[in-house]
Amino acid sequence: MPHEAQIARRRSFAIISHPDAGKTTLTEKLLLYGGAVALAGSVTARKNQRATTSDWMELEKQRGISVSSTVLQFEYKDSVVNLLDTPGHKDFSEDTYRVLTAVDAAIMVVDAGKGIEAQTRKLFEVCRRRGVPIFTFMNKLDRPAREPLTLLDELETVLGIGACAINWPLGLGQQFRGVYDRRKKDVHLFERTVHGAYRAPEKVGGLDDDFVAQHTVPEALEQAKMELEMLDGAGHAYDRTKIDRGELTPVFFGSASNNFGVQMLLDGFLELAPPPEARMAADGRVIEPTAEGFSGFVFKIQANMDPRHRDRMSFVRIVSGKFERDMQVTHTRTGKLVRLANSQKLFAQDRETVNEAYAGDVVGIVGNHGFGIGDTLATDPKLKFDEIPRFAPEVFAYLHNPSTAHYKRFRDGLEQLLSEGVVQQFIQPHAGQRVPLLGAVGPLQFEVVQFRLESEYNAQSRLENAPYTVLRWVRTKDGGAIEDFDIPSGVATAQDSEERWVVFFSDQWAINYFERRNPNAELSEIPWDE
């Protein structure tokens, strides 16, 4: 198959949602309909039972949360689908943000009974800032749900995005019987199956068919017809350009656990979502996916996924060119040449060697190459992508090593976890600091650090909360020395891993006070060069 065709048939996306909206269920059903699994239940089984390959996933099991992200690839009809899984818990939103840099589109799952929830809103903002096209799945229509028109309205008023319904529900809650496909103008009626484990049987007909009237609740059908008329008259028209720009979200209604509307979502999404697009390099060059030279960036690193091997996997999103196993590329941050010998793709916990891959795909490179999150691998040694944003942590703690005899284990483990970006470390050079000061977006990240230090490096640790809640990067307006600042008590300065100065505060009041005392200081929520 020609290179262009390989790229054109790829769809790389993530599913975003507030916890419990149905992301795991939908993932599983997309795999079911995509033909990647024969019987739904495997993903949830993973979620619930976690026949885990690595000890620290015990933590996920204990907490019932998903910490690690995996990438699922499958072929469906003519498409190659890359589904990048993201952790749902808000404490791991940094991890989720990084994954979102690697996708070309997102499916936002909304619990139709609850509407737009906080975490959905946050993740939506990240997608919007990046201009990622967003598709909406209104889930759980089989349960008491908000009126579909209200839900569309909420997308507009709460998220500020135009909504264009691709299908429309016939009834809600107990009366939910199926959906009307507005583009094809046909009705898909569903029957419930036991636990929704197999594909839901469908019957297709027109909105005015007797068959449809027989199988729907008359008032619900009437109401749907009325709403559809209103939509035709006053709703947002389907507009591909606006979808591509992330200004309009195509909306699909359904019920993931009952398989209602999942096939339509999959087909509609694959048809409407964009293939891999060009990305801008740090120097302003536009790198087309069809460009000959290979390029990609690391968006996730994870060690010890399989404790028997103690390996380290760097997940690389391919931006251009063709990946071939054993190829040589430059790790452009260090200028070193590396051979990408051990390349793998994952399917849930299984791995498979990748011999070739294209723009849009994700390959896992196994080995200790010294890659860091955000690093570029390319045949062009000058190429650098600047895709991964850094987030200001919001919780801070000192991590003590209670056993001097095991200092090396403690240090090695921490270094590894820092390189994975699980937490950030700050150094207070002037304070002669020996205990690492760590910053995280949420406290569960600290728990992961402690858990993994112990289970993977056999290193104990003790956490001491630091009395700060806000971090700002700082510089002087006149280029003077940071050391000359007047530091009030309760405020501390330190440097991040790239020796950029930061200041820690206990609250907003402390920031204002610091700014008044130091008119020469300029503060920022993100590092200056990002």
Cα torsion through 242, 245, 246, 252, rounded to 10 = 50
Residue 383 is assigned to a ligand binding site: no
Contacts of residue 298, Cβ cutoff 8 Å, sequence gap at least 6 = 314, 315, 316, 371, 372, 373, 374, 375, 376, 377
Least distance between ligand G4P and beta carbon 262 (Å): 9
Q: Which stretch binds ligand G4P (CB under 6 A): 67-75, 158-166, 256-264, 323-331?
A: 256-264
Nearest CA to 376 out of 339, 332, 335 is that of 332
**Is 89 assigned to a binding site?**
yes
Q: Is 85 annotated as a binding residue?
A: yes
Mark residue 330 as left, alpha or beta (left: phi above 0; alpha: psi -120 to 50; beta: remaining).
Answer: beta
The H or E element containing residue 111 is strand 105-111
The answer to whether 507 is a known ligand-binding residue is: no
Give residues 66-125 in contact with ligand G4P (rule: CB under 6 A): 88
Q: Minimum CB separation from ligand G4P for residue 316, in Å?
A: 26
Per the DSSP assignment, residues forming a β-bridge with 12 are 82
H helices of 273-379, where? none
Residues in contact with 108: Cβ distance below 8 Å, sequence separation at least 6, in sequence order:
15, 16, 17, 120, 123, 124, 127, 134, 135, 136, 137, 249
Asked if 57 is part of the footprint of ligand G4P (rule: CB under 6 A), the reply reads no
41 marked as binding residue: no
Structure tokens at 319: 């931006």
Q: Where are the beta strands (DSSP E) in 116-247?
A: 134-139, 162-165, 167-170, 178-181, 186-190, 202-205
175 with 143: CB under 8 angstroms? no
Q: What are the two backbone dihedrals, phi and then psi, of residue 14, each rounded to the nearest 5 degrees?
A: -130, 160
Could you say which residues in the range 4-33 bind ligand G4P, by CB under 6 A?
17, 19-25
Q: Is 140 one of the binding residues for ligand G4P (CB under 6 A)? A: yes
- 361 touching ligand G4P, by CB under 6 A: no
Could you tell me the smallest distance in angstroms from the CB atom of residue 329 to ligand G4P?
36
Q: How far is the CB of 66 from ligand G4P (least distance, A)?
A: 7
Which residues within the stretch 425-464 sit at the binding site for ligand G4P (CB under 6 A)?
none
> Min. distance of Cβ 256 from ligand G4P in angstroms?
4
CB closer to ligand G4P out of 59 and 491 = 59
Count of residues of this chain found to bind ligand G4P when the rule CB under 6 A is applied: 18
Closest CB to ligand G4P among 197 and 237? 197
Residue 141 annotated as binding site: yes
Q: Which of 256, 264, 340, 366 binds ligand G4P (CB under 6 A)?
A: 256
Residues of the binding site for GTP: 17-24, 85-89, 139-142
List contacts with ligand G4P (CB under 6 A): 17, 19-25, 44, 88, 139-140, 142-143, 255-258
